[in-house]
């Protein structure tokens, strides 16, 4: 069986695809991929290697969105045309949906129109949670029978994890007695970092520190965050892409990970925190209450006034180590071998082959 991943991150900045690819190959699946987004690059990339049995689409936004409306229409029409040609030569299309629309909301109505067309062209759609399946059915009007729920795999043993809490805090020049709240991930408006800073400022608790760690989408959000936290010396920011080997420093320095998303379909950051054995503070929306439970997390209703700060205050009376260990055990069930097997079964369904 031959499968072609698009887009494929050959640099490995996100190990998600490589973990899936490696475990699919263990099952005898031949996997190639391309990270090129130019018009009609899909057909060139696909047939320059070999005609695949399956085209597995992971993130569709780069193929649809341009710098203006005209370019967006041209790119989107071209991409849909390429998919039609692939279907005519009997290449099956599988799409793992990570986001409903792009988080930046650029040309959202236009993007949604073409994304609905894309959904209708797929032989199968993969999502990571039951809530995501409900959203896809509702928004894309896709058939439930088309959609397969396969969990997001864990990151256990994916990143180095040898540094102790004391060593990690020392590297970051944090006092040992401080309770460390960590936000980790890409820094974008929908991540709720402004609300996190406001809540942390209200804690007014001298033994706490907040670390905001990740690569910002633009300078505007950097200035906004710095302005909101400039009067609180207990907030420390690291506006940069964190190399794989250094993720352990921030995760192991932290007592709890805070991910106050405004909306979410799938969260790799939650799986990452669980894989490092950390309790999590997050809103009870989307996939989050389907991934976490009350034994390992502090879930809150985002509509509740001061819901986030109330969740943060619960940290001071909780057994954080026990909660983190619970999340680590939960994360173990999201094994990549099992996930690759389920993905392989989706491919077989498309090709009408025995599993």
Across residues 58-87, what is the average pLDDT?
A: 89
Q: What confidence category does residue 126 fall into, taking pLDDT thresholds of 50, 70 and 90?
A: very high
Q: What is the mean pLDDT of the chain?
A: 90
Q: Rounded to two decimals, what is the model's pTM?
A: 0.90
Q: Residue 124's pLDDT is what?
A: 97
Query: Which residue would you say has higher pLDDT here, 102 or 55?
Result: 55
CATH of the domain at 145: 3.40.50.2000
Same domain, residue pair 176 and 38:
no
Q: Residue 26's pLDDT is what?
A: 95
Residue span of the structural domain in which 29 resides? 2-153+335-351
pLDDT in tens, 279-324: 999 999 989 999 999 999 999 998 888 999 999 999 999 999 999 9
Same domain, residue pair 188 and 103:
no
Q: What confidence category does residue 45 fall into, taking pLDDT thresholds of 50, 70 and 90?
A: confident
Same domain, residue pair 169 and 139:
no
Does a structural domain hold residue 343? yes
The total of structural domains in the chain comes to 2
Question: 99-133 as b/e, with b when 16 or more CB fall inside 10 Å?
Answer: bbbbbeebbeebbeebbebbbeebbbbbbbbebbb
Q: Residue 278's pLDDT is what?
A: 97
pLDDT in tens, 10-44: 766 679 999 999 999 999 999 988 876 666 677 77
Query: Which residue would you say has higher pLDDT here, 149 or 72?
Result: 149
Q: Is the pLDDT of residue 154 over 70?
A: yes
Q: Residue 185's pLDDT is what?
A: 92
Across residues 263-274, what is the average pLDDT?
A: 91
Q: Could you give the residue ranges of the DSSP H alpha helices within 172-246?
A: 193-203, 219-229
Does a structural domain hold residue 159? no
Q: Residue 236's pLDDT is what?
A: 93
Q: Residue 12's pLDDT is what?
A: 64
Q: Find out whether 19 and 158 touch, Cβ atoms under 8 Å.
A: yes
Q: Residue 104's pLDDT is what?
A: 66
Same domain, residue pair 144 and 202:
no
Q: Which contacts (CB < 8 Å, 24+ apart) does range 79-88 have?
A: 79/42, 79/114, 79/118, 80/114, 80/117, 80/118, 80/121, 82/40, 82/42, 82/43, 83/42, 83/55, 83/118, 83/121, 84/121, 85/43, 86/42, 86/43, 86/46, 86/55, 87/121
Of 29-33, 63-67, 196-200, 284-288, the range with the lowest mean pLDDT is 63-67
Across residues 79-101, what is the average pLDDT?
A: 91
């Amino acid at each position: 069986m031959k499968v072609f991943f698009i887009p494929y991150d050959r640099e490995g900045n996100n190990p998600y695809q490589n973990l899936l690819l490696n475990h699919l190959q263990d099952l005898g699946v031949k996997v190639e991929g391309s990270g090129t987004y130019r018009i009609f690059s899909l057909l060139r990339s696909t047939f320059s290697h070999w005609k695949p049995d399956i085209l597995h689409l992971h993130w569709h936004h780069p193929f649809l969105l341009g710098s203006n409306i005209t370019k967006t229409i041209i790119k989107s029409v071209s991409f849909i045309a390429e998919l039609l040609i692939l279907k005519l030569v009997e290449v099956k299309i599988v799409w793992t949906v990570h986001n409903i629309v792009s988080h930046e909301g650029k040309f959202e109505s236009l993007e949604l129109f073409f994304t609905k067309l894309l959904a209708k062209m797929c032989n199968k759609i993969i999502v990571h949670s039951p809530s995501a399946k409900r959203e896809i059915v509702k928004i894309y009007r896709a058939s439930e029978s088309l959609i397969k729920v396969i969990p997001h795999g864990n990151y256990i043993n994916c990143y180095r994890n040898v540094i102790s809490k004391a060593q990690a805090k020392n590297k970051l020049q944090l006092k040992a007695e401080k309770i460390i709240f960590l936000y980790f991930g890409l820094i974008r408006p929908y991540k709720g970092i402004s609300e996190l800073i406001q809540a942390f400022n209200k804690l007014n608790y001298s033994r706490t520190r907040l670390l905001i760690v990740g690569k910002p989408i633009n300078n505007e959000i950097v200035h906004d965050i710095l302005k909101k936290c400039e009067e609180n010396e207990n907030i420390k920011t690291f506006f940069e892409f964190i190399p794989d080997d250094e993720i352990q420093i921030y995760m192991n320095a932290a007592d709890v990970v805070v991910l106050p998303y405004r909306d979410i379909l799938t969260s790799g950051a939650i799986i990452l925190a669980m894989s490092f054995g950390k309790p999590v503070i997050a809103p009870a929306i989307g996939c989050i209450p389907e991934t976490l439970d009350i034994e390992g997390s502090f879930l809150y209703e985002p509509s509740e006034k001061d819901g986030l700060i109330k969740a943060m205050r619960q940290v001071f009376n909780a057994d954080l180590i026990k909660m983190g260990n619970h999340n680590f055990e939960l994360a173990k069930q999201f094994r990549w071998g099992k996930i690759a097997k389920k993905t392989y079964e989706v491919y077989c369904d498309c090709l009408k082959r025995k599993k």
